[in-house]
Amino acid sequence: MDISIVGLGYVGTVSAACLAASGHRVIGVDVNPAKVEAINAGHSPVIEPGLTEALAQAVESGQLRATADISEAIRESELSLICVGTPSQDNGALGLAYVMRVTREIGTALRGHPGYHVVAFRSTMLPGTVEGELIPLLESESGRCAGEHFGVAMNPEFLREGSSLEDFHDPPRIVIGELDERSGDVVLAAYDGIEAPVVRNVLRHAEMLKYVDNAFHALKITFGNEIGNICKSADIDARAVMEDFCLDTKLNLSPTYLKPGSAFGGSCLPKDLRALLHHARSRDVEVPVLRSILPSNELQKDLAWQLIRQTEKRKIGLLGLSFKAGTDDLRESPAVQLAEALIGKGFELAIYDRNVSLARLVGANRSYIEKEIPHISSLMRGSLEEIENFAEVLVVTTPDPDFMHVARGEFDDRIVIDLVGLLRDDPPEHYHGICW
């Protein structure tokens, strides 16, 4: 395949070298003549282990060359990867000046392109940028229609400095946000021979995924640092603690809990987090990330309340009361707190949870419901049918499969608010998800 790489910084140079090594014919493009000269001489303009050797081999074999003429590169390729920078502005906003300039130049070059060409952006951009700003610019400058005369894709990179060549050839996944299937097919062909899971979705999905990755990486680093500071204050080896923490790949390093939805609750997470924060304060250790978790969790609870309030209905059926499915634990359950808020605002409320029955509860859970929330226990119903016959709004708080039939129901005007994603893949007519 003939591929042009626009922008020969870190990502562009690595991409050019690796694609050439994969057998593609690559044309690098940059406005900086020094970078163009360096590439054509087989030298890397950036420092990265193994990159100069890979570039030298690619140039010597004739698989890679560089130019300052973007029109030439677009005209002689079927796919262009846009790798220019998107630096922060003074106010923190994303700077799109380089991307906009290059997009305008590519649009002009597409006027004279002899065939179908796909423009794939690797530059990091916020969701909606490609669709809302760059595609219209390409169409206006080219006089052609995206999806018909040329393709558009978002192909974010996940390269780590210091191991980028290895990351390119052995990635955790290949992500393609595509305007249409034809656009995505061309981008995917560039990675032929690379074994990795392939994610194909809409443009803004791919744009967002890059930010999710980087935000989580930043969070992990800061989390590790704050835990380290607490450990040091208690004369504990923080590195050893985190090494042992990472041995747990069922919960700690896994997809577990990384599912948008309801707030967390239960007898462990809130209690233990408060204790850790108190411990840090007692030792004068600042932990702003850890300190922000509980307030953020409260905001998620408020989102659920706002969804109910906006329905302007008064009869609410709660499907689930425990803090998660498969348990009868009501301590610090977000559903219990939601029920108390609804009662306080004068809503009529009925609740069903097959695991929560006063006749069956024993020990701490029975004591909790009798002493702390006796007013809520009187609102419990013995069957789903009772909830179905009562409620104008059904609120799903735990992913119990038994709730699916009732939530879909046969009542066209019944509103369903889903806090856990139970019905996300096949929603009823009047449906609202908490964050989808």
284 inside domain: no
The pLDDT value recorded for residue 365 is 66
**Structural domain includes residue 67:** yes
pLDDT of 405 above 90: no
Measured at the CA of 101, the angle between CA 161 and CA 65, to 5 degrees, comes to: 55
Q: Is residue 66 part of a domain?
A: yes
Is residue 146 located within the same domain as residue 17? yes
Q: Phi then psi for 67, rounded to 5 degrees? A: -150, 160
pLDDT at 363: 65
Distance CA 318, CA 311 (A): 15
What CATH number should be reported for the domain holding residue 162?
A: 3.40.50.720
| Same-domain check for residues 174 and 314 | no
Q: Is the per-residue pLDDT at 361 higher than 70?
A: no
Range of lowest pLDDT (118-127, 290-299, 348-357) = 348-357
Instruction: Report the pLDDT averaged over residues 262-269.
Output: 88
Averaged pLDDT for residues 76-99: 93
Q: Which domain holds residue 119?
A: 2-202
* 152 and 12 part of one domain: yes
**Residue 182 and residue 51 in one domain:** yes
pLDDT attached to residue 360: 57
Pairing of strands 2-6, 64-67: unpaired
Residue 208 lies in a domain: no
pLDDT (average), residues 399-404: 88
- The pLDDT tens digits of the residues spanning 311-349 come to 999 999 999 998 888 778 888 899 999 999 999 999 999
Q: Average the pLDDT over 28-53 and give the result.
A: 95
Higher pLDDT, 124 or 357: 124
Q: Which amino acid is at 195?
A: E
In a domain, 128, yes or no: yes
Q: What is the pLDDT of residue 429?
A: 87
Same domain? 313 vs 164: no
Whether the predicted pLDDT of 368 surpasses 80: no
**140 neighbors 25 (Cβ within 8 angstroms):** no
Query: 5: pLDDT confidence band, cut at 50, 70 and 90?
Result: very high
Tell whether 266 is covered by a domain.
Answer: no
Confidence of residue 133 (pLDDT cuts 50, 70, 90): very high
- Does the structure show a pLDDT above 60 at 398? yes
Average pLDDT over the chain, rounded to whole? 92
Residues 197 and 319 in one domain: no
In this prediction the pTM is 0.85
Is the same domain home to 189 and 313?
Answer: no
pLDDT one-digit tens code per residue, 286-296: 999 999 999 99
The residue out of 202, 232, 261 marking a domain boundary is 202
**329 and 186 in a common domain:** no
Contact 51, 14 (CB under 8 A): yes
Report the chain's terminal Cα–Cα distance, integer Å: 38
- Per-residue pLDDT, averaged over 50-60, amounts to 97
Under 8 Å between Cβ of 112 and 142: no
Residue 119 lies in a domain: yes
The residue among 202, 222, 242 that closes a domain is 202
Neighbour tally for 37: CB within 10 Å: 13
What is the average per-residue pLDDT within 167-196?
97
In contact, 304 and 338? CB cutoff 8 Å:
yes
Structural domain count of the chain: 2
Q: Cβ atoms within 10 A of the Cβ of 13, count?
A: 28
* 317 in the same domain as 190: no
- Same-domain status, 30 and 163: yes
pLDDT at 231 over 80: yes
State residue 217's pLDDT score: 92
- Tell me what pLDDT residue 280 has: 93
- Please identify, among 202, 232, 252, the residue that sits at the C-terminal boundary of a domain: 202
Q: Residue 71 domain-assigned?
A: yes
pLDDT band at 357 (very low <50, low <70, confident <90, very high): low
The catalytic residue positions are: 268
Does 308 lie in the same domain as 172?
no
145-149, 153-157, 399-403: which has the minimum mean pLDDT? 399-403
Average pLDDT over residues 282-307: 94
